[in-house]
């Protein structure tokens, strides 16, 4: 199992450009989430999904879109990048009900100029 | 409004000694708490967790203590090893969010264990 994979590892965008951060998991997990990590802020939830076709907003959803057409994939879209979206983005997945650990991907470091 | 707070940005301890990382929360609905460890350029990895029905959970060198009345939890690492040097995040969840994978994270504490 590859676990949770994210591409790209690094990306530089200009203000106003769009892009998609890819996330995939091969553990057949129902639950997937996107977090961003900023200095002094910890990790903040952007969007999450409880299964294919179902998504919802987290703490900081503005400027981001998601969709979940398959169990395996959960892409995060930036429609018009802003410097405030410069951050490290982590995708995570969790299997089953109730409390159990989430598995995180290695992260994508995004810089918006 | 930071619902989960780690007030110490950094901690430095000597190898072999105890490391104590602290975490405070404000939301009384939180009933499950987790600690994640993060190395540079890697994603966070799960370390240990505790349910609100317990006040202590132990796993090898790692023990988490929960004081619900004080809304405080702590992670003890004994003995500390240089490989423990990393950023440690405290996270919390409530009964509803737990099923969805939604976690509220603290700001993180950078632990440095000196040889």
Phi first, then psi, for residue A47 (nearest 5°) are: -145, 160
B44, B53, B101: best to mutate for the A interface, most A CBs within 10 A: B101
CB count in 10 Å sphere of residue A72: 17
B2, B43, B94, B99: best to mutate for the A interface, most A CBs within 10 A: B43
A39, A102, A103: best to mutate for the B interface, most B CBs within 10 A: A102
| A99:B98 CB<8 A | yes
Mean pLDDT confidence for B34-59: 95
Q: What are A58-80's pLDDT values in tens digits? A: 999 999 999 999 999 999 999 99
Q: Which residue of chain A comes nearest to B37, CA vs CA?
A: A104
Query: Higher-confidence residue: B24 or A40?
Result: B24
Edge-to-edge strands of the sheet including B62-67?
Answer: B4-5, B19-25, B72-77, B62-67, B56-59
Per DSSP (E only), the strands in A39-86 are: 42-51, 54-57, 64-66, 76-78
For residues B57, B13, A37, A87, the Cα torsion angle rounded to the nearest 10 degrees is -160
According to the model, what pLDDT value does residue B64 have?
A: 98
- Which chain B residues contact residue A92 at CB under 8 A? 43, 101
Q: Which residue of chain B comes nearest to A38, CA vs CA?
A: B107
As given in the structure block, the two tokens for residue B76 are 């003890």
Query: Higher-confidence residue: A41 or A9?
Result: A9
Cross-chain CB nearest to B43 (options A31, A32, A104):
A104
CA A80, CA B46: separation in Å to the nearest integer? 33
CA A48, CA A50: separation in Å to the nearest integer? 7
Q: Residues in chain B whose beta carbon is closer than 8 A to a beta carbon of chain A?
A: 4, 6, 9, 32, 34, 36, 41-46, 49, 51, 89, 91, 93, 98-108
CA B66, CA B56: separation in Å to the nearest integer? 6
Cross-chain CB nearest to B93 (options A59, A99, A107):
A99
| B105:A4 CB<8 A | no
DSSP B29: T
Q: What are A90-107's pLDDT values in tens digits? A: 999 988 755 568 899 999
Closest Cα of chain A to B85: distance in Å? 17
According to the model, what pLDDT value does residue B94 have?
A: 82
pLDDT grade for B100, boundaries at 50, 70 and 90: confident
Specify the range with the lowest mean pLDDT, choosing from B8-12, B41-45, B90-94, B99-103: B99-103
Query: Higher-confidence residue: B31 or A65?
Result: A65
Q: What are A19-62's pLDDT values in tens digits? A: 999 999 999 999 999 999 998 888 999 999 999 999 999 999 99
- Which chain A residues contact residue B59 at CB under 8 A? none
CA B43, CA A89: separation in Å to the nearest integer? 9
């Amino acid at each position: 199992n590859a676990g949770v994979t994210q591409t790209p590892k690094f990306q530089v965008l200009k203000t106003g450009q769009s892009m998609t951060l890819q996330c995939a998991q091969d553990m057949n997990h129902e639950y997937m989430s996107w977090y961003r990590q900023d200095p002094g802020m910890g990790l903040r939830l952007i969007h999450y999904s409880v299964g294919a076709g179902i998504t919802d907003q987290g703490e900081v959803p503005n400027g981001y879109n998601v969709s979940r057409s398959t169990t395996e994939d959960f892409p995060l879209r930036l429609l018009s990048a802003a410097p405030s979206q410069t951050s490290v983005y982590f995708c995570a997945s969790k299997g089953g009900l109730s409390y159990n650990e989430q598995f995180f991907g290695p992260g994508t470091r995004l810089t918006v100029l | 409004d930071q619902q989960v707070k780690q007030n110490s940005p950094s901690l430095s301890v000597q190898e072999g000694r105890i490391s104590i990382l602290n975490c405070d929360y404000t939301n009384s609905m939180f009933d499950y708490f987790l600690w994640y460890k993060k190395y540079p350029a890697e994603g966070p990895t799960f370390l240990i967790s505790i349910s609100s029905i317990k006040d202590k959970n132990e796993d090898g060198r790692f023990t988490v203590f929960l004081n619900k009345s004080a809304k405080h939890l702590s992670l003890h690492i004994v003995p500390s090893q240089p490989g423990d040097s990393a950023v440690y995040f405290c996270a919390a969840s409530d009964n509803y969010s737990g099923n969805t994978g939604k976690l509220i994270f603290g700001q993180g504490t950078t632990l440095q264990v000196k040889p």
